[in-house]
Amino acid sequence: MALNASLSRKFLGWSTLSLGGLSMLIVGYAFFGYDANVSPLEGRLLPSQYRKETRWRVISPDMVESGATIPTDTNVIFEIPGDAPPILRRILLGSYDREVRYWGYCLPDDYDQTKAVATDRLPGRVFLSEGERTARDDEYKENLARKFSIPNNLTEEDLNELRERPAGRIEHEVETFEPGSICYIMSQVPLAIGLDPDDDEANDQIEKEYGTDPHLADSDGDGVSDGREIFFLHSSPIRRDSDGDGLIDGLEDANRNGHIDLGDTDPVKWDTDRDGLPDGLMKLGVGRNMKILGEDRNLNGIVDEGEYDPRKWSSYGDDISDYERYMQCLMTGGDDC
C-alpha cells in the first residue's frame, strides 16, 4: 500500500492534499480534540501551502448519531460513537449505488502520531466505494498498458503522470466500522451518514430525508423494511401501496427481500405485465368512463380460480391479452369477467 510521498495532484477528478497534510490534520485532531465551530482549524493544523485549497469538516459522534450529511469535495473527519454497535459501510454512509465514488481510511487503535507524520503511507485502514474501486482498477490497468516514448509523450502532463505514478495499489480494507473509530473521507457526491437503531438498512439521516420512523423498521407496515423499499424496490416507505393498484407492497414482493423475483409483481408498477389490467383492483378512468378493474380481485396476492395472472400478459398463453379477454367477456354479457 506504499504511495509516493506527494499526492498533491489532480486525483480521480478531485483536488487532494499531500499525505503529510492529511496526517498533520489527524495528529492535530487527536491531540487537540475538535470543535465543529472552531473556524481556524485549518490554519492551526495545515501547512500554509495547503490552506484554503480544500475545505475541512468535522462530524462529531453526536452528529453521526443524529444523522448528518458528508459534503462533496471536502476533507471530512468523522467519529463513530463509542457505544454504537458495529455498522456496515453502505448503511453508515447511506448509499448502495455502485457508481458512487468516495474513499477514506480509519485510524488504528494503536495510532502513533509521530510515525504517521514521518511515513509516506496512509495512517490507517482504507475503505473504497464500489465505484471508486472500479475507477482505480480501470486507471491502474490503463497505466500498465500505456507505453511511454519521447516522440509521442513529450508533454508536461505525460511527464508529470509518469513521475507521480503510485508505487502500489490502494486496496479496500474496511467493510464494518467499529464503535469509537475515527475516520477520514472524501466523496464525489453528498453522503447521508448515520446509525441504524431499528436495523432496517436505512440510517437515521436517510430516514429523515424520506420521512420514515428511525425507530420502526417498517414505517408503513406493508411487510417490507424501510431500507429495502428505499434502496432496492425504490417503492415508498411511507405508503403501503406505492403504485395504487390495490395490492400492498409486501404482497407484491412476496418474500419481502426488496427484489422483484420470479413470481412477484412490481410494487411500483400498477400493471406489471402491461396487459391493461391492474395487478390488484383499482379504479381506472373518470366519470361515466370509470371502471373498477383488476386481476387479483380479492387482493390476496394469489392467483385464485377465475382470476387473471398479473404476471402474464395472457394468462391463457395465447395471442389475446387479459384485458382484451376481459372486454370480450363484458361485450358478450358475461357476469363474472
Range of weakest confidence among 164-178, 217-231, 240-254: 164-178
Kindly report the pTM of this predicted structure.
Answer: 0.77
> Are residues 81 and 65 in contact, defined by beta-carbon separation less than 8 angstroms?
yes
123 domain-assigned: yes
Q: What is the pLDDT of residue 10?
A: 28
User: Which tens digit of pLDDT belongs to each residue from 49-58?
Assistant: 444 567 899 9
Q: What is the pLDDT of residue 286?
A: 85
Of the two residues 3 and 302, the one the predictor is more confident about is: 302
Residue 207: is its pLDDT beyond 70? Answer: yes
Pinpoint the alpha helices (H) of the chain.
19-32, 41-45, 61-66, 89-92, 113-118, 130-145, 150-153, 156-164, 204-210, 226-228, 249-252, 322-331
* Number of CB atoms found within 10 A of residue 52's CB: 9
Residue 39: is its pLDDT beyond 70? Answer: no
119 domain-assigned: yes
Which residue's C-alpha cell is 363474472? 336
- The set of residues, in sequence order, having a beta carbon less than 8 Å from that of 92 and lying 6+ positions away, is 80, 177, 193, 194, 195, 196, 203
Q: Is 4 helix (H, G, I), strand (E, B) or coil?
A: coil
DSSP assignment letter at 84: S
Burial of residue 148, with CB atoms counted within 10 A of its CB: 0-12 exposed, 13-18 middle, 19 or more buried: exposed
Q: Which grid cell sits at 242?
A: 406505492
**Mean pLDDT confidence for 83-93:** 97
Q: Is 176 helix (H, G, I), strand (E, B) or coil?
A: strand
Task: Write down the mean pLDDT value for the chain.
Answer: 82
Q: What is the pLDDT of residue 20?
A: 38
* Number of CB atoms found within 10 A of residue 273's CB: 22
234 domain-assigned: no
User: Which tens digit of pLDDT belongs to each residue from 291-321?
Assistant: 889 999 999 999 999 999 999 999 999 999 9
Residue 76: is its pLDDT beyond 90? Answer: yes
14 domain-assigned: yes
Residue 79: is its pLDDT beyond 90? Answer: yes
d(CA 141, CA 300): 53
User: Which tens digit of pLDDT belongs to each residue from 139-187?
Assistant: 888 777 666 566 666 676 666 666 555 555 788 999 999 999 999 999 9
**Mean pLDDT confidence for 272-299:** 92
Q: What is the pLDDT of residue 330?
A: 86
* Number of CB atoms found within 10 A of residue 293's CB: 20
Q: What is the pLDDT of residue 317?
A: 93
Q: Please name the amino acid found at residue 259.
A: H
d(CA 65, CA 207): 13
33 domain-assigned: yes
State what percent of residues in the chain have pLDDT above 90.
61
Burial of residue 303, with CB atoms counted within 10 A of its CB: 0-12 exposed, 13-18 middle, 19 or more buried: middle
* Number of CB atoms found within 10 A of residue 311's CB: 17
Looking at the structure of the chain, the number of domains it has is: 1
- What is the residue range of 41's domain? 10-193
Q: What is the pLDDT of residue 6?
A: 29
- The set of residues, in sequence order, having a beta carbon less than 8 Å from that of 316 and lying 6+ positions away, is 325
The CA angle 258-244-202, to the nearest 5 degrees, is 30
Closest CA relative to residue 133, chosen from 103, 155, 161: 103
Q: What is the pLDDT of residue 22?
A: 46
204 domain-assigned: no
Q: What is the pLDDT of residue 246?
A: 96
Q: What is the pLDDT of residue 226?
A: 98
> Are residues 18 and 53 in contact, defined by beta-carbon separation less than 8 angstroms?
no
209 domain-assigned: no
267 domain-assigned: no
Q: Is 68 helix (H, G, I), strand (E, B) or coil?
A: strand
Q: What is the pLDDT of residue 103?
A: 94
